[in-house]
Homo-oligomer: A and B are copies of this chain.
């Protein structure tokens, strides 16, 4: 497939000026120029533009993006995996900010108190962005590990496999819950599958398992707003669904 400036711009959601600018600074040159002087982009350019936008989204300057993707040692897949990690971090920060705004509302309504410090939680992604600017390859390798280390901080007493298993389970629970929620039946096979996954997750976290505690935690998913907020983010009612599924699973449903 071949694209002119406007077509590629529409595809990627950017302006034609931006594409011309990217040509000008040499970060994304068209595959060829046709007889009338028009810029024509091909497959390779589409993929490169996607890479550029990923870096841009993460706050990397165009100058640094250029250095990175023009580097002979640039590894596309490795870069994508880095993007993945960074985007997850960004998501966490956004979640912090969402909690912040929720608390701020509660404060305005006099329901809770907030320290000045709390009022700015979730804004400081700047620090991350500034790190991003240093994104040289060596730096990347260096910080890459550090980030991993940091996120593994509370792993201390856990084997690496267990930790990874827990991470995988979290994602699986989330996905399975989304699917099961559509059925509307917490007692159904999909609902019970979620509960089963959740049991595995809890067993790993606690090192043991206990029905009553499991049921207690499930109830908390509805009662504790920090959980409710998280689970209801996409579809209101997900937290309740999860609780019901677990209560049925543990036989604690009355």
Listed in ascending order, the chain A residues whose CB lies under 8 Å from chain B are: 1, 11-14, 46-47, 50, 53-54, 57, 76-77, 80-81, 83-84, 87-88, 90-92, 94-99, 101-102, 104-105, 108-109, 111-113, 115-121, 123-124, 126-127, 150-151, 153-154, 166-167, 170-171, 202, 205-206, 210, 212-217, 219-220, 222-224, 226-230, 232-234, 236, 239-240
Contact = CB atoms under 8 A, between A and B. Distances in A.
Contact of A57 (B97, B111, B228): B97
B1 A116 contact: yes
A83 to B, nearest CB: 5
Number of copies: 2
B87 A57 contact: no
Given A1-B116, A217-B220, A224-B205, A108 B76 contact: yes
B80 A101 contact: yes
A90 B185 CA distance: 30
B233 A88 contact: yes
A121 B84 contact: no
A83 B108 CA distance: 14
A247 B76 CA distance: 40
A112 B151 CA distance: 15
A108 B76 CA distance: 8
Contacts of A88: 98, 233
A194 B156 CA distance: 26
A118 B234 contact: yes
Contacts of A212: 210, 212-213
Kindly name the residue among A111, A166, A214, A216 whose own CB sees the greatest number of chain B CB atoms within 10 A: A216
A205 B98 CA distance: 24
23 contacts: A11-B116, A12-B123, A13-B120, A13-B126, A46-B119, A50-B119, A50-B120, A80-B101, A80-B104, A80-B105, A88-B98, A92-B234, A94-B94, A96-B233, A99-B230, A111-B167, A112-B170, A150-B232, A205-B220, A206-B219, A214-B216, A216-B216, A217-B217
Contacts of A54: 101
A127 B97 contact: no
A53 B216 CA distance: 38
A46 B91 CA distance: 25
Contacts of A111: 167
